Amino acid sequence: MEQIKVDGTDLSISQVVFGTMTFGAQVDEAEAAQMIATCREAGITMFDTSNNYAGGASEEILGRIVKPFRDEVLISTKGGSHVDQTDASLAGLSTKALHRAVDGSLQRLGVDHIDVYYLHRPDWNTPIEETLEALDQIVRSGKVRYVGQSNYAAWQITEMLYLARMNGWPEIRISQPMYNLVGRRVEAEYAACSERMGLTNITYNPLAGGLLTGKHRPDETPEAGTRFSKPMYRERYWNDVQFRAVERLRGIAEDAGLTLIELAFRWIAARPLAHAMLLGASRLSQLESNLKALHGPRPSPDVMTACDEVWDDLRGAAPDYNR
């Protein structure tokens, strides 16, 4: 598998990054170990988690599995959420919360450093200067090598990079934006921002939480244990407009001799915004089939244009505010 050089760092990451959100939830430790082994056989060298996945169990399971070969892989995790529901001061991105979150992740992972530490979401109650200065302290301590972000707007990323450069703090070098066939709003401003700022993008939600598998129906109750059993994912994707788009995309895929999943993965692989893709799975067989679906020729220009037309309708006819 191709390795991608991350600008401004000494990191090279695999073109596919494996996300472990399901570890400790749908996936037990034995199956998780099989998944990690399958990923390594496929050439995947980076594994992603978060302090709030499965209440911290994802970090614990990942750490135990990779311990024998820790120096051969990269580990990324995230902060901004918290595991201890009894202490609200541990949530967010304040100095106290960040230091506690990093120390907690290190303990659960059983490692002495984290390769990439993401700010998981904006904290509107903490000045960004405080967050960035805390990250500087953490990086200087050796607990974190590089910092990244997920779910921030282009203007926020620009502000963070400006402040970091003005104050000599660590700069955001890696980014995790949501990006898929039915979620392309990052193309409006974020894409130009990330290119100008030299960010490496590891895009997440390639199957739109499972919507782009084509197995869901709007008149059916989401299956328990799937992402659509959670309000956040239903609010994001579960609506008639998105389902109609999926049916159009299914037709495009069939006309091209592809499954909908193959189209979803290979479309992302063909997009210049996506330097790497975050891929997860809820069972080993799903991981194996998804890895297989990734391999193959990229969609033709006609197929890419047809996908653009679906997005144009999803995006709507309202004009952009800027030129």
Check: CB of residue 146 under 8 Å from CB of residue 174.
yes
Please tell me the predicted confidence (pLDDT) of residue 203: 98
> How many other CB atoms are there within 10 angstroms of residue 146's CB atom?
22
For residues 196-222, one letter each, b for 16 or more C-beta atoms within 10 angstroms of the residue's C-beta and e for the rest, the string is ebebbbbbbbbbbbbbbbbebeeeeeb
Averaged in consecutive runs of 10 residues, what is the pLDDT profile of the chain (323 residues)? 95 98 96 98 98 94 98 97 63 93 97 98 96 99 98 98 98 98 96 97 95 83 72 76 94 98 98 97 96 95 98 90 86
Domains delineated in the chain: 3-213+260-299 (3.20.20.100)
pTM of the model: 0.94
What is the pLDDT, as a whole number, of residue 83?
A: 60
Query: What is the distance between the alpha carbons of residues 164 and 44, in angstroms, rounded to a whole number?
Result: 31
Q: What is the pLDDT of residue 238?
A: 72
* CA distances for 148 relative to 9, 82, 104, angstroms: 12, 18, 18
Burial class (CB in 10 A: 0-12, 13-18, 19+), 136: middle
Q: What is the DSSP pairing of strand 46-48 with strand 144-150?
A: unpaired
Residue 84 has what pLDDT? 59
Q: How far apart are CA 180 and CA 134, in angstroms?
A: 33
> Which residues belong to the active site?
53
